[in-house]
């Protein structure tokens, strides 16, 4: 909820979003006292939009992580089979 009628705000139309049409950024009171320039506000708004973009998120696991997990599982499976064979032989 916005209080007062003199809030400084940056409105950024989104071009690539299938969900949102416009993003609104309202300045904090501390920022209002510092009086940032318009270019500073736009740079910060663009940074926040890029940081929270759904299309630019990195995958949670890389191929190297998946390969390591596969090899680890393969090793544990072979170890379990070897132990079963050794227990059966005794």
For residue range 65-76, list pLDDT tens digits in order.
999 999 999 999
Write the CA distances from 62 to 19, 21, 36, 66, 72, integer angstroms.
28, 32, 39, 6, 15
12, 23 contact by CB (below 8 A): yes
Q: What is the pLDDT of residues 7-66, one digit of tens each?
A: 677 787 877 777 778 888 887 877 777 777 878 877 887 888 777 766 656 667 788 899
17, 3 contact by CB (below 8 A): no
Determine how many CB atoms are found less than 10 A away from the CB of residue 45.
16
Mapped onto helix, strand or coil, the DSSP state of residue 53 is: coil
- For residue 32 the two structure tokens come to 């209002």
């Amino acid at each position: 909820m916005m209080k007062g009628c003199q809030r400084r705000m940056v409105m950024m139309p989104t071009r690539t979003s299938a969900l949102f049409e416009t993003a609104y950024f309202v300045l904090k009171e501390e920022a209002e006292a510092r009086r940032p320039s318009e270019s500073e506000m736009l740079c910060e708004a663009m940074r926040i939009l890029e940081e929270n973009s759904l299309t630019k998120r990195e995958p949670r696991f890389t191929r190297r992580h998946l390969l390591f997990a596969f090899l680890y599982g393969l090793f544990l499976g072979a170890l379990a089979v070897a132990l079963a064979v050794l227990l059966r032989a005794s």
